[in-house]
Amino acid sequence: MTAAIEINAVNKSFGNISIIRDLNLRVEKGERHAVIGPNGAGKSTTFNLISGYLAPTSGEVRLNGQVISGLPPYEINRRGLSRSFQVTNVFGRMSVWENIRCAVLWATGHRYAFWKNVDKLPEVRDRTAAILEDVHLTARRDVPASLLTYAEQRALEIGITIAGGADVILLDEPTAGMSRAETERAVDLIRRLSEGRTLLIVEHDMSVVFGLADRISVLVYGQIIASGTPEEIRGNPKVKEAYLGEEAH
């Protein structure tokens, strides 16, 4: 079976500094896969390489078997991959409703249409309403995104990410900066929304990682040093040494 995401021998360097070195990673279809690693290990760079924000210096990235490395982000998105951002990245002056609706438009086939009234597209309206319900923002639909609370903005960020119906979802530290209660709600949300899709998640909170992921990959200095189930990772001496040992006091 082809993997949802396959990274083969990818290198990325900025000038002389190489951030990602001979990276290999396989994310199977339908699994929840977490990438962990210390700060500066290259987790966000890996996300940027997969989603097209950056192009690899060498190597290739495949999505459902197709090579996507080198394509612009919107082409990759149209092929069924969607990502969220570590720093909230929404449409600040537009309402919550408009934010989600914009993310629905391409996938529903309306694209650059300038001959249709956007308020009179039933499938767009229904899907937008459903996503809003999913991320619990229905009551805030008319509020400009920039006026939402932090946790609400994170929820909106996830809503925009899933709105296009992509079957591969990349979430970059979705619970960063949240309180414990907010984190629990967010994890519930992510678990529910990633049902039937492939999820690749970068996360610092170990309770989130071990509670959510089917498999975990550990990234250290731009290389994957271990990949496996949560139990395997917990018992892996290399991981303990490189990462968990330092942080799990």
Partner 1 sequence: MTELASSTTRQAGPAPFADKLRFYGIWIAAAVALVVLPMIFSSGGSLTTFSLIGISIIFALSYNILLGQTGLLSFGHAVYYGLGGFLALHGMNLIISREWPIPLPFVPLIGGLFGLIFAMILGWVSTKRAGTVFAMISLGVGELVASSALILRSFFGGEAGITTNRTDLPPFFGYTFGPQIQIYYLIAFWVLVCTIAMYALTRTPLGRICNAVRDNPERVEFIGYSPHVVRYLAFCFAGFFAGIAGSLAAINFEIANSAYLGIVQSGVVLFATFIGGVAYFFGPILGAIFVTYLQLGLTDLTAVWQLYFGVIFIGIVMFAPGGIAGLIMMHRPLYRAGTLSMIMPAYLVALLPTLALACGVILLIETVSRYLVHAGDDTTLHLLGIPFDTSQPLTWAITAVLLIGGFYVARMTWRGIAAAWDRAATAARDKGYAA
Q: Report the interface residues with partner 1, using CB under 8 A.
A: 51-52, 72-74, 77-78, 82-83, 85, 89-95, 97-98, 101-103, 105-107, 110-119, 121, 125, 129, 141-142, 144, 160-161, 163-164
Q: Which is nearer to partner 1, 71 or 233 (CB)?
A: 71
Spatial separation of the C-alpha atoms in residues 148 and 158, rounded to whole Å: 14
Spatial separation of the C-alpha atoms in residues 198 and 5, rounded to whole Å: 9
Spatial separation of the C-alpha atoms in residues 165 and 161, rounded to whole Å: 8
Q: How far from chain centre, in Å, is Cα 187?
A: 13
**How far apart are CB 104 and partner 1 at their closest, in Å?**
9
**How far apart are CB 242 and partner 1 at their closest, in Å?**
31
Q: Which is nearer to partner 1, 88 or 236 (CB)?
A: 88
Task: Compute CA distances 51 → 76, 81, 173, 181, 214, whole Å.
Answer: 7, 7, 15, 30, 22
Residue pair 41/220 in contact by the 8 Å Cβ criterion:
yes
Q: Which is nearer to partner 1, 148 or 224 (CB)?
A: 148
Q: Which is nearer to partner 1, 70 or 72 (CB)?
A: 72
Q: Is 96 exposed, middle or buried (0-12, 13-18, 19+ CB in 10 A)?
A: buried
**Strand, coil or helix: 203:** coil
Closest C-alpha among 182, 242, 217 to residue 50: 217
**How far apart are CB 131 and partner 1 at their closest, in Å?**
12
Spatial separation of the C-alpha atoms in residues 87 and 145, rounded to whole Å: 14
Q: Which is nearer to partner 1, 92 or 235 (CB)?
A: 92
**How far apart are CB 143 and partner 1 at their closest, in Å?**
8
Q: Which is nearer to partner 1, 61 or 160 (CB)?
A: 160
**How far apart are CB 160 and partner 1 at their closest, in Å?**
7
Closest C-alpha among 165, 217, 211, 161 to residue 188: 211
**How far apart are CB 27 and partner 1 at their closest, in Å?**
18
